[in-house]
Amino acid sequence: MITTPAMPKSASKRRRKTRTSNINHRPPVIASKLKVSEIDLAPGKEHLVCPDCSTWVPITGMLGTPKLVPHHTGRAKTGEPRRCAAGSNRPVTIDVEAGALRTQLIEGAPTAASRRATKVLPKPKVKPVPATSQVKPAPLSAEQVSRVFRQHQQQCLACKGEAKNRDGQTLPCPDGERLAVTVLRLLRQEPKRAAVREFFARERRRFDRQYAAAAPAKRASEWAAVEVRVSHADAARKTFPDGARPADGPSVPEKPEHLERHNQRQAELGRQYAARKASAA
């Protein structure tokens, strides 16, 4: 191709990495003190996470004095970009090898992948405690309270007469007295409670007899209500002609096709069964 003075010259290809002689006077970034996931020393792709702005930044000058290139913070490519003045041109001390760093990264990958979240165990569903107004006290019986009273007498020293005060007088037992009063009250009320229980049992038996007596009449009335519709359905079904009987599958013969062969086979099976029976005995 022939060029003329009127044709513009093509611009030279710009370097991908920023080249500058400025050096930040802050202490250098030590590569060995960074996490394996915060630095990449692949040839031609040297990057690390800036300790000041937590942004991935290229490393320039790998053949001489490595340092971080001038860069923006995480707000780069926005309407208000901000330059990281503290981390730009900061020296980097490469005291690890790229191969060793890559080995650590590969070894750590299966460990991270093998982690699993702890299995979430469902909490047991506990029924809410009923309110005080909803609690139904269990009815006490004289036998239950008498059993508790006897157990109390066996364990209580005051009921046995062995508990005494400083003057040597026997101490009373308020718990035993309360249990004794309760037992006497329940014994007085037991005939009335038995009468109430007998009344309810008698009413239940009367209700069962009435229900059993009324069941046939109820069934007859229910059948009378549907008898007309049933008779109409039967009459309508009789008007249809008798068709072929539906069959779910091929017909099965009721008798063997070759009766003589069948009898011979049955006789042979009988002899084999008798021989096995005799050998087993």
Residue type, 168: G
108 compared with 184, residue with greater pLDDT: 184
pLDDT of residue 5: 53
- Asked if residue 246 has pLDDT above 60, the reply is no
The C-alpha atoms of residue 258 and residue 65 are separated, in whole angstroms, by: 106
Sorted by sequence, the CB contacts under 8 Å of residue 280 that are 6+ apart come out as none
The C-alpha atoms of residue 140 and residue 128 are separated, in whole angstroms, by: 26
- Asked if residue 260 has pLDDT above 70, the reply is yes
pLDDT of residue 16: 58
Q: Which residue has the tokens 């009449």?
A: 217
Calculate what percentage of the chain has a pLDDT beyond 70.
81
Q: What is the pTM of this model?
A: 0.34
Among the listed residues 70, 69, 72, the one whose alpha carbon sits nearest the alpha carbon of residue 55: 72
Question: Over the stretch 81-125, which tens digit does the pLDDT of each residue have?
Answer: 678 888 888 888 888 888 888 887 777 666 555 666 667 788 888
Calculate what percentage of the chain has a pLDDT beyond 90.
3
Q: Which of 122-131, 248-257, 270-279 has the lowest mean pLDDT?
A: 248-257
Mean pLDDT for all residues in the chain = 80
pLDDT band at 9 (very low <50, low <70, confident <90, very high): low
Among the listed residues 204, 201, 157, the one whose alpha carbon sits nearest the alpha carbon of residue 176: 157
pLDDT band at 202 (very low <50, low <70, confident <90, very high): very high
pLDDT band at 199 (very low <50, low <70, confident <90, very high): very high
Residue type, 229: R
- Asked if residue 132 has pLDDT above 90, the reply is no
The beta strands (E) that lie in the chain are given as 29-30, 39-40, 47-49, 56-60, 67-68, 92-93
**SS3 of residue 134 by DSSP:** helix
